[in-house]
Amino acid sequence: YDGAYMFKYSPREGTKAFRMEDDVDEKTKSKRLQEIIDLQQQISYEINQELIGTEETVLVERLSKKSDQFFAGRTDTNKVVIFPKIDIVEIGSYVKVKINRATQATLFGDFVSAIDANDEMNMKKHLQTS
């Protein structure tokens, strides 16, 4: 998986597990959680590294949180993509971005082209039926 939500076990009232004796100490729970988080981050990093050199279709969502010189958007697989702000690109439009760097959580790339409105309409219809 590209990502996962992971938490330490904690009893929840109303569940069968709530009545069970918890025989795993807090230190062990924390250690196990950190191990699985570290593993998932490595897996996510490796998956994202494979995308370097590819062109991704990106929905431009906003300016980057870290710099107004960059846009932030998402791929159709929900990956965050950061790329330099270009005057011809508007928030809400689709663009092609060539990925040149990746972390476990974010892809970085360069603007390749805008996707014209007709292609954008077809893409929206496709995404709604997927």
Whether 59 shows a pLDDT value over 80: the answer reads: yes
Instruction: Render pLDDT for 5-20 as a digit per residue (tens, 0 to 9).
Output: 998 877 888 888 788 8
Q: Are residues 63 and 119 in the same domain?
A: yes
Q: Are residues 46 and 61 in the same domain?
A: no
Q: How many domains does the chain have?
A: 2
Which domain CATH number covers 70? 2.40.50.140
Q: 80-116 as b/e, with b when 16 or more CB fall inside 10 Å?
A: bbbbeeeeebeeebbbbbebeebebeebbbebeebbe
Domain boundary among 19, 34, 50: 50
* pLDDT category of residue 107 using cuts at 50, 70 and 90: very high
Cα–Cα distance, 130 to 124 (Å, whole number): 10
Q: Are residues 40 and 79 in the same domain?
A: no
- The one-character DSSP state at 57 is E
Q: Are residues 43 and 66 in the same domain?
A: no
Q: Output the average pLDDT for the chain.
A: 89
Q: Are residues 74 and 43 in the same domain?
A: no
For position 126, what pLDDT does the model report? 56
Q: What is the mean pLDDT of residues 90-105?
A: 97
Model-level pTM greater than 0.85? no
* pLDDT category of residue 122 using cuts at 50, 70 and 90: low
Which long-range contacts link 43-46 to residues 24+ away (Cβ below 8 Å)?
43/1, 44/2, 44/3, 44/104, 44/105, 45/102, 45/103, 45/104
Q: Are residues 40 and 61 in the same domain?
A: no
Q: Are residues 10 and 29 in the same domain?
A: yes
Q: Are residues 72 and 44 in the same domain?
A: no
What values do phi and psi take at 79, rounded to 5?
-85, 135
Instruction: Render pLDDT for 60-91 as a digit per residue (tens, 0 to 9).
Output: 999 999 999 999 999 999 999 999 999 999 99
Which domain, by its residues, includes 70?
55-129
